[in-house]
Amino acid sequence: MPNQNNDCQTCGKCDNTAREKNSSKNGLPLHTIIVYSENISGLLSQITAVFTRRQVNIETLNVCASSTPGVHKYTITCFCDTEMAEMLKKQMEKRIDVLQANYFTDDQIYIQETALFKLSTPAVLQNNRISKVIRIHDAKIVEVNPTYSIVEKTGLTEEILSLFDSLTELECILQFVRSGRIAVTKSTIEKLDEYIRLREKKHAQIMEQ
């Protein structure tokens, strides 16, 4: 599991300092909050409002359909203590159409992010250190034309930022974008499935009455 390794095997550049920087801010740990909701419009603003009202900044946010039909999954990262994470969880679950919200620290989940770098092709051609850096970081070149080249890097935040720092030094970046974190839990129990099963049981009971 490269995600758990502070001495990142992939890029060889990540160190504990970089991880520290990224996993806490003002002494507050980074939490990943995974929220499942019914697919009803307007939910995203309700969820983000829970954070804003409690003065917690959302660092990254990813929204997509989940593996359960009709259920949306939100992956949100923010710096907050456990008490705040618990409050955010409860306040989100209080919204009628939210099924479940759970918070995790990095050791409880498998994490990935993707970034795209748009580089100047003339710069890349002029300086062979650039392609070397791309190779060392195990990034992919996905498009090349005479004006620009596009490089894709998937990995942890610090791996991506490390590549970004190196390419910035080499003065070749035209554009840069990094996706929000996506994550799946490492637990062997699927909490959402369990919740839905319980709710279906309750529904059956109500129907019987």
Partner 1 sequence: MSEKITGAEALMRSLVNEGVKTIFGYPGGAIMPVFDALYDYRDRLNHILVRHEQGATHAAQGFARVSGEVGCCLVTSGPGATNTITGIADAMIDSTPMVVICGQVGTAMLGTDAFQEVDVVGITSPISKWNFQIRRAEDVAWAVSRAFYIAKSGRPGPVVLDFAKNAQTGMVDYQPSKVDFIRSYDPDPQPSDEAIKMAAKMIDDSVKPFVLVGQGVELGNAQKELREFLEKAQIPAGCTLLGLSALPSDHPLNMGMLGMHGNLGPNVMTNQCDLLIAVGMRFDDRVTGNLKTYAKQAKIIHFDIDPSEFDKNVKVDLPVLGNCKTTLAAVTKLISPAKHNSWIQGFQPYAEKEYNKVIEKAINPTEGPLLMGEVVRKVSAAANNEAVLVTDVGQNQMFGCRYFKFTKPRSVVTSGGCGTMGFGLPAAIGATFGAPERTVCLFVGDGGLQMTIQELGTIMEQQCPVKIILLNNNFLGNVRQWQAMFFNHRYSFTPMANPDYEKIAEAYGIPAHTVVDRSDLDNSIRVMLDTPGPYLLQCAVLEEDNVLPMTPPGADVDKMLLEVKD
- The token duo for 159 is 């791996």
Which one of 11, 30, 99, 119 is in contact with partner 1 (CB under 8 A)?
A: 99
Helices 128-136 and 157-169 sit at what angle, rounded to 10 degrees?
Answer: 170
Question: By C-beta, is 3 or 46 nearer to partner 1?
Answer: 46
Nearest CB to partner 1, comparing residues 38 and 143: 38
The pair of three-digit structure tokens given for residue 88, joined into one six-digit string: 């955010």
- Of the candidates 7, 15, 38, 81, which one interacts with partner 1 according to CB under 8 A? 38
Window contacting partner 1 (CB under 8 A); options: 4-12, 110-118, 159-167, 199-207: 199-207
Contact flag: residue 65 with partner 1 (CB under 8 A): no
Rg (CA), the chain: 20
Q: Which helix (H) or strand (E) holds 27?
A: none
What CA–CA distance (Å, rounded) separates 118 from 141?
10
3-state helix, strand, coil in the chain (%, to 5): 40, 35, 25
Q: Which two tokens stand for residue 171?
A: 């003065």
Select the span of 90-98, 109-117, 121-129, 165-173 touching partner 1 (CB under 8 A): 90-98
**Contact flag: residue 140 with partner 1 (CB under 8 A):** no
> Which residues in this chain contact partner 1 in the complex, by CB under 8 A?
37-38, 42, 45-46, 49, 53, 83, 86-87, 90-91, 93-94, 96-99, 196, 199-200, 202-203, 206
